[in-house]
Structure 1
Amino acid sequence: MTAPWVRTRLRAAPGAAVALAVLVALTACLAAAFPRALDRYTDAGLRQAVEHAPVDESGILVTAGPDLDAGVAHTEESVRPERLTGLYESALDTVERPLVIDRKRSSYGVRTTETVPSPDEWLPRPDGLPAEMLLAAPQGLADHARLRSGRLPEVTGGEASVETAEVQAAVTEETARTLHIEVGSVIHLPGSHDLTVRVTGIVAPEEADSPYWSVDSLLRTPSLRQVPGPMGASNPSYWAGGLLLAPEAAPALLSVTTTVRYWHLTPDPDALHSRDVDALASAVASLESGPGLERLHATISPLTDVATGLDAAFTTYDELRGDIGPLIVVAASGAGTVAVVVLLMAGGLATDRRRAELALLRARGASVRGMAGRLLAETAVVAVPAGALGFGAALLALPGARLLPALWAAVAVTAVACLALPLRAVAAHHAVRIHDGRRDAASPRASRRRTVAELTVVVLALGAVELLRRRGTTDGAGDLVAMAPVLVGVIAALVLVRLYPLPLRGLARPARRLRGAVGPLALARAGRTSASAVLPLLALLTAFTVAAFGGSVLSGVADARDRAALISVGADGRVEAEAALPAGLTGRLGQAPGVRKVTEVGLDYQARTNDGRQSLPLAAVDPGDYAALAGRTGLGAFRAGELRGPDGAEGGSEDAVLPALASPTVAERFGDDTFQVRLADGGHATLRIVVVRDRTPAVYGDEFLVVDRAGLPAAAARPNVLLLTGDDLDAGAVRRAADDAGTVHLRSEERGTFVDSPLQCGAERIYTAAVAAGAGYAALALLLSLASAAPERAALLARLRTMGLTRAQGRRLLVLESLPQALPAALGGILTGWAAVRLLSPGIDLTTIAVSSTTSPAGRAELSADPWSLAVPAVAVLVLTVGVAALQAWWSGRRGAVAELRAGDAR
């Protein structure tokens, strides 16, 4: 009998079925998309962390000397290609999962550990010292280089050995150009057996930055080195380059200098997943000092060494993820809570719409189990295909991520959608009832069970908030802490529902003495609304809290980046040179688009104190312009008069004492006494510190001095730094105006440097999506709440119009009736959002998500309430509520009283 029931119900209400399908599909898609998006951006962050590590540290370098314990023949055999290939396979087998090695980007071979000087005088000798060569016999040279001229090296005349006197080699284009090497050049290298190297080819690396060429940069690019000597002395230089031999020629290297076998193992970036960070770190640790290293000792040599920077990259990434992750969980938990509430409300709305039908079924003998089973089947027929459709859409939209977390999320959404109607129906019709009685929110008292449940939730929420305040998001406070903003919304919803009847009771008696009928009737209607208003309020206040928290996070991140960029640059733009800038540059920059003001600064980084041992950055400025700039930027604002030099100090009199602005560390060092500073041009200035500020626009750092340039010699006061003020500076126009006279730094460009990890970008996008989804579901919850009362309101208006109520009065009635619920929700939402941010801000540190580091030029990035995130949702709730009420009154007026009365009676 279940199948006919389901078909009949779907045919009777196709619109409700379609609406439920759309809601479930959208929610399942969003739920499944969240873990997949999380996987994608966390995996991208891990791969970037590995790729951005130095090339010689982004892989695993296994090195071992030749076997020397079984004679010369065995030593030669240990460096031949066949032996190296076998050991390479053994090393690959030693690497533990989930760390996967990319064979195409890995390399191995033999190379000398030191460069060998060549007596050939035709090689360049900058200071008379002979050029030195590093020799290597790498495998797979043809696969990683393009032949430009000649041919690749070979071994002729049988196998190479220690006694081989001549070998062939190739060099890179840069080496050939710098060291004047050509095809056919002969290089002599001394050793236990002198070795002659004949260059047979010149090659170009396929990917110069690839790990293949990172074993030693000399193999790709020659280097001009200096002989070690005293610091600051003019030490002689010499050139060092690399020679690439055939792999079969490796035994010949044994006669030149110390030789080492190497296997450079490069991880496969596609196999790096954020979920495996701990296992990846464990696999690397095993190779460095664990079972993996023991196996390498057993297969290669007891003296095998392993070096890698992957462990540091994994640790840095894990710290960044640990700082950002809890913030994402907070946003996801809030949006998820609102979505679940909406699904429950949809089930509740269906239950209310079919109250009479279900009551009649129970009165005619239907069992609770049978009724719940039929309702479950009816809902599942719609919800399960819709959930599958949403899950499939998420897979198509976000490929390349795990399947199971997304599947479980979609299943959870579908399960909630399927169970909402049956469970609400069971709760409402567990006992057989003839009628429901009066549903009045202003009179009934809460049961003891409800009071205990509410107190339990309040205690949990307060505990989570206090735990987050004490431990913060970065100390592993747990899932309860991640739900803290949601629980704050729960507390507010429960408190608001409890307090809501009080003003209604207080206003009920005075309202009776009003002359008009609309006001008292609206108040009475507001007091008789459904007592099940907890879910709509919970959805609204949770969305308010998440929106306020999420908006404040995004606003705090943006402000932290702006502040850090401002401190780094000193203004909206900066043009700086080592020498004095051209005289007309200030005027040209002032005419560039977007530039409002140009402040000149003569910055001397080499100013020294009396003893000449300590250097301090000294900024020579015009006090008026510079004070205005410091005030606009908020970087150490001061009064211009405090920095102006005394009369008679014009032109740089060394006897005059100039007032100076200094950083706290400099002020602590010199105190209130006068002191002399020797300028870079050899002149002197006598200063006394009169103003102390933590920061100043011209200098980024903890030590600086700022003085009136009118009191310094003209040469010392000439500007070499120009600070630009303006909105939306045109980078191209500013650089064209600067005309390569100095280095240009823009605040907008500096801001972009703080976003260098997909973790940050992904976290911001997910936060924005979570806030938007929460807001959308909150609006839907409000509409469902209003829709549940729409039929009864329409019937009421029709009855009242038969008694003389005008259409204008009807609109006012519905608007006034909705305001007692909308106003507390809006005001409570503002208060809840503000309280959540204020309560949780001590435990939230936005520095990492803002600048991808635990330290920022602007200091700790704190969470503070964003006014727009508080005001916009509240206004939206009021506008939506009043708009829906007015629209319903207008639509009811168009239908006519008879149609509405018949619809109301049918309901």
Structure 2
Amino acid sequence: MSGVLWRVRVFAGQFGLLAALALVAALLITAAPRLANDLTDRALHADVARLPYAARDITLSQRPENLNADPTLSSAADAVPMYRDRMPAPLRELVSEGWFTAGLEGATLPPAGPRTLLGLRTQGGMPDRVRVTTGRWPANNANLEVLEVALSTAVSKQLAAPVGTVLRVDPAPQTGPRGVSIQVVVVGIFEPIDGNDLAWDTIRLALEPFPGLPPDTPAAAMAMTDGAGLGLATRRLPTPALSWRYRLDEKRLDGESLQAVTTALAEIKRTPPVPGMSTSTNLDATLLRFDGQLRAVSALLAVVQAGLIATLLGLIALAAALAVERRREEFALLRARGGTIAAIGGRALAESLVVLPLATVVGWLLGTYVPGRPAATGWLVVGAGVVATLAIPVLAAVSQRRLSFTARRQDLVRHRPSVRRLTAELFFILVAVLGAYLLRRRGLSPDGSVDPYLASVPVLLAVGAAIVALRVFPWPLGQLGKLAARARGAVAFLGLARAGRGAPVTIGPLAVLVVAIATGIFSGVVMSSIGDARDRAADLEIPADARVSGYAFAPDVTDQLAAVPGVTAVAPVTVDPATRYTAANGAKNGVQVAVVDTAALARVATASGVSVTLPAALVDARPGDGPLPALVSPDVAAELGGGGEATIRSRSYDFTVAAVADAFPGVPSASGRFIVLPRQALPDPAVIAPDHFLVAGDASPEALRTASTPQAGSSVTVTSWSDHRRDLEETGANEVLSFTFTTGTVGATTLALLAVGFTVLAGARVRGQVLSRLRTLGLSGRQGRGLLVYELVPLVTIAVLAGGLVGVFLPRVIGPALGLSSFTSGAAVRTALDPLLIGAVLVLVVAALAAALVVENVVNRRMRLGEVLRVGEEGQ
């Protein structure tokens, strides 16, 4: 054992290098998925947290025929935990809070206030959430004739109803008969203890009434009562609607449980806890969208990580080969003294076992300190440790298969490969091509897991490209060598001659470089392609500098927006998402109908610099006697006979199909079935009120909101193109996507530079001897550095060309399997090459050559170049 430790200490540099690579490999395998999981979970929590309560909460609703069995609704209020426990797993474990609410819709004409749509509500635990400022909290019982209610200060002011006011409440037309009413008396005025409490979400009108839109829209508010009070109301009014609302704690969600949660949500929608109930939530839609992005980014991360791990394993092999080459004489002497190949391998294995398993374990332990859920990558860590541990023993045993008492000539390489090697290379390329075909057909993770073989397809393609490049490059390199032989000076000729004989362009360094460069360029190309697709998606959804959204704007709002300083063009748009059209054959079908001033939209798009295409038939349409030209979706076009009649806002228009497209700029369509009519060609455009405007110019959002909100209380949203484009980058699993890109580009660049450094180290001994001989012939130090550059330029050039081609075309080959359109709002991801990426590759080439020169200088100083001609030549 002491001899083993002594040899490890003697060759500490070689084992230290391998240990560092093993540690980095184990750290990358362990830490990258954990960090990705941490980013995934945080992004999921943020997406769910920003949802409105109606979308994220699970609401169970029921309207019983009567309240005879539960007149005070006490049993219904106590059923909150019972219905939670009946939810399918894992929903019941995710519920953090639950509320019971019952309510009736009605209308009242207060003695002094305006007519108000007044809802009656009761909700469990409300006395603990309010502070009664005047009077008391309602306390109804069966003996009372007048229903007791409590109003917030704001509602009391809206209704002009202080304590003691008696109100007559009529049932809403859609819930009760006409001519029936009840009397309610205000017994208390309250203020909320915490107005941001989640319990107020569904009864926000009980705190802040909606004042209504003049002149004929009534205000809306809510009065609070107790369960017994609603029981009294059912004597004359319909039974109340009951609902049980459950808040899912987003912090208990994680990426691993997405499929189980969405399945449970679908199940509770199909089968509520009690027959006759209905379930409402849109959380499943958000989780499905996030799950689609997560699948895509997981596949992308698997591809990038496979490339980085393969590069690291290749570097381990290069480092092990370098260590074996440095100890070639030692192993040859042991072989000459009768040592067997197994004994030599065992000797090297004993040394490796002292250092490399420990380094792998340290890398794994460091990775476990990274925040995030652990991933099932333990087998990869073990595999990397095994490769690192066995690399030197295996290469040492292979190098001593034949006993050789003389040193090998390092500058002689056989250029004609054997038939066996060519067959192996062709088989390898065939496996890579077959994997690419399967990956394109099946996808990388059809069931949520990642297939190791399919995830390694990009690596196989990169290695296959390196093999092809290795077989192709000798001819052009030979032609360059002939040109260099005719030129003045020997540096270029000698450097290209050495490179042409296979030093240092061999399959090992070349394959490692190609894989690293392909991984980095693949990451950069996918990043720029997604960015380009997001730009196109933003152009399609907001083909303007800003969009002003609301409902039923007044006819003069268009002119008011146009008058805002900085606005250069305005296009009104009206969308009716649920209407019908009548085909020429009389068939009536549901469709979304949009009316767009296409002529104004063309001006807006041009002024905004947005690249969209509008059909000339719609842009040039003007009022006339004939039917309107229309753009329709493919599904609608297949149902039409060339034209029909479309209805929007209760008005019908004849149209003919002028164009067919999957989408229209500025007109969202969730159903994919739509008809777009030119607003400027309508007989009377003013009768169709716009619900949003597309605006060109640099006006501020506040100015646009002010100009489009003449009535107090109107809800208007202003969304700029840049804000919408930024939202596409900041929602969903985009943080994981950015992490993947950063890991791929930075990791691949670093490993590529290391590969060049190992290549220089591998040939340093022989190259030192050559330089020592050439120095005696008058070669200067500068020319010696030039010789190294000429040797490395073919390697780097071939690697950049092969890796670049693989990295650029890989997204096109496996892009459909990655599902990247989930990050681009459905826009197709087309291969886009950023000019900055080309510049970065050129910088990488220069950096690689500079790093090679630095390594060469360090090695020459350590080897004392003047003595190399004598050292190491004893056996020759």
Deviation (angstroms), 1:555 = 0.8
1:41 touches 1:758 (CA, 8 Å); kept in 2?
A: no
2:114 touches 2:218 (CA, 8 Å); kept in 1?
A: no
Matched, 1:783 2:757: yes
Matched, 1:805 2:794: no
Tell me the matched-pair count: 822
- Output the CA distance in 1 between the equivalents of 2:513 and 2:334: 34
Deviation (angstroms), 1:866 = 0.8
Matched, 1:42 2:40: yes
Equivalent residues in 2 for 1:137-156, closer than 5 Å: 138-139=124-125, 142=128, 145-147=129-131, 149=133, 153=137
2:429 maps to: 458
2:558 touches 2:570 (CA, 8 Å); kept in 1?
A: no
Q: CA distance change for structure 1 residues 662 and 544 in 2, over 3 Å: closer, same or farther?
A: farther
2:158 maps to: 178
Equivalent residues in 2 for 1:386-405, closer than 5 Å: 386-396=359-369, 398-402=370-374, 405=376
Deviation (angstroms), 1:436 = 5.5
Q: 1:278 aligns with which of 259, 264, 268?
A: 259
- Output the CA distance in 1 between the equivalents of 2:362 and 2:850: 33
Q: CA distance change for structure 1 residues 529 and 67 in 2, over 3 Å: closer, same or farther?
A: same
1:70-104 superposed Cα distances (whole Å, 9 cap, x missing partner) = x96xx5698359xx65x55544444454334466x
Matched, 1:863 2:830: yes
- Output the CA distance in 1 between the equivalents of 2:606 and 2:254: 51
Secondary structure at the aligned position of 2:728 is classed as coil
Deviation (angstroms), 1:461 = 1.7
Deviation (angstroms), 1:59 = 3.3
Amino acid at match of 2:315: V
Deviation (angstroms), 1:797 = 0.9
Q: 1:750 aligns with which of 724, 727, 732?
A: 724
Q: CA distance change for structure 1 residues 224 and 170 in 2, over 3 Å: closer, same or farther?
A: same
- Output the CA distance in 1 between the equivalents of 2:613 and 2:71: 70
Deviation (angstroms), 1:179 = 3.7
- Output the CA distance in 1 between the equivalents of 2:632 and 2:110: 59
1:47 touches 1:272 (CA, 8 Å); kept in 2?
A: yes
- Output the CA distance in 1 between the equivalents of 2:385 and 2:216: 76
Matched, 1:635 2:633: no
Q: CA distance change for structure 1 residues 621 and 168 in 2, over 3 Å: closer, same or farther?
A: closer
Secondary structure at the aligned position of 2:115 is classed as coil
1:490 maps to: 463
Amino acid at match of 2:333: L
- Output the CA distance in 1 between the equivalents of 2:605 and 2:731: 37
Secondary structure at the aligned position of 1:321 is classed as helix
Matched, 1:565 2:564: no
1:678 maps to: none
2:115 maps to: 126
Q: 1:420 aligns with which of 363, 378, 391?
A: 391
1:446 maps to: 417
Unaligned runs of 5+ in 2: 172-179, 576-592, 638-655, 670-674, 686-691, 709-716
1:660-693 superposed Cα distances (whole Å, 9 cap, x missing partner) = 9996899x9xxxxxxxxxxxxxxxxxxx999999
Secondary structure at the aligned position of 2:225 is classed as strand
1:679 maps to: none
Q: CA distance change for structure 1 residues 374 and 183 in 2, over 3 Å: closer, same or farther?
A: farther
Amino acid at match of 1:204: P
Q: CA distance change for structure 1 residues 552 and 200 in 2, over 3 Å: closer, same or farther?
A: same
- Output the CA distance in 2 between the equivalents of 1:462 and 1:622: 47
Equivalent residues in 2 for 1:698-717, closer than 5 Å: 703=676
Secondary structure at the aligned position of 1:405 is classed as coil
Secondary structure at the aligned position of 1:135 is classed as strand
1:524-543 superposed Cα distances (whole Å, 9 cap, x missing partner) = 32244458832322222222
Amino acid at match of 2:31: A
Give the alignment's TM-score, normalised by structure 1.
Answer: 0.73
1:681 maps to: none
1:441 touches 1:530 (CA, 8 Å); kept in 2?
A: no
Q: CA distance change for structure 1 residues 234 and 741 in 2, over 3 Å: closer, same or farther?
A: closer
Secondary structure at the aligned position of 1:570 is classed as coil
Matched, 1:241 2:223: yes
Deviation (angstroms), 1:572 = 4.4
Secondary structure at the aligned position of 1:758 is classed as coil
Deviation (angstroms), 1:812 = 2.8
Q: CA distance change for structure 1 residues 335 and 808 in 2, over 3 Å: closer, same or farther?
A: closer
Equivalent residues in 2 for 1:592-607, closer than 5 Å: 599-600=568-569
1:414-439 superposed Cα distances (whole Å, 9 cap, x missing partner) = 44333333333333335544346335
Identify which range, 467-476 or 761-770, moves more after superposition.
Answer: 467-476
Matched, 1:99 2:94: no
Secondary structure at the aligned position of 1:134 is classed as strand
Q: CA distance change for structure 1 residues 545 and 739 in 2, over 3 Å: closer, same or farther?
A: same
Q: 1:618 aligns with which of 597, 610, 615?
A: 597
2:74 maps to: 79
Secondary structure at the aligned position of 1:805 is classed as coil
Q: CA distance change for structure 1 residues 197 and 382 in 2, over 3 Å: closer, same or farther?
A: farther
Unaligned runs of 5+ in 1: 227-232, 591-597, 607-613, 646-651, 669-687, 714-719
Give the alignment's TM-score, normalised by structure 2.
Answer: 0.75
1:674 maps to: none
- Output the CA distance in 1 between the equivalents of 2:25 and 2:298: 22
Deviation (angstroms), 1:492 = 0.4
Q: CA distance change for structure 1 residues 495 and 51 in 2, over 3 Å: closer, same or farther?
A: same
Q: 1:335 aligns with which of 308, 333, 336?
A: 308
Q: 1:317 aligns with which of 271, 290, 300?
A: 290
Q: 1:429 aligns with which of 372, 376, 400?
A: 400
2:791 maps to: 817
- Output the CA distance in 2 between the equivalents of 1:532 and 1:31: 29
Q: CA distance change for structure 1 residues 366 and 76 in 2, over 3 Å: closer, same or farther?
A: farther
Amino acid at match of 1:6: L
Deviation (angstroms), 1:617 = 3.1
Q: CA distance change for structure 1 residues 57 and 698 in 2, over 3 Å: closer, same or farther?
A: closer
- Output the CA distance in 2 between the equivalents of 1:876 and 1:51: 43
- Output the CA distance in 2 between the equivalents of 1:407 and 1:140: 52
- Output the CA distance in 1 between the equivalents of 2:107 and 2:808: 74
1:31 maps to: 29
- Output the CA distance in 1 between the equivalents of 2:775 and 2:218: 104
% same residue? 26
- Output the CA distance in 2 between the equivalents of 1:494 and 1:802: 38
2:753 touches 2:851 (CA, 8 Å); kept in 1?
A: no
2:737 maps to: 763
- Output the CA distance in 1 between the equivalents of 2:563 and 2:63: 66
Amino acid at match of 1:178: Q
- Output the CA distance in 2 between the equivalents of 1:566 and 1:60: 35
- Output the CA distance in 1 between the equivalents of 2:325 and 2:569: 73
Deviation (angstroms), 1:888 = 5.8
Q: 1:258 aligns with which of 230, 239, 250?
A: 239
Secondary structure at the aligned position of 2:729 is classed as coil
1:33 touches 1:406 (CA, 8 Å); kept in 2?
A: no
Instruction: Give me the CA root mean square deviation.
Output: 5.8
Deviation (angstroms), 1:493 = 0.9
Matched, 1:350 2:350: no
Deviation (angstroms), 1:759 = 0.9
Amino acid at match of 2:494: L
1:118 touches 1:133 (CA, 8 Å); kept in 2?
A: no
- Output the CA distance in 2 between the equivalents of 1:695 and 1:270: 37
- Output the CA distance in 2 between the equivalents of 1:118 and 1:519: 95
1:299-346 superposed Cα distances (whole Å, 9 cap, x missing partner) = xxx666655544444434333434444333322322332232223322
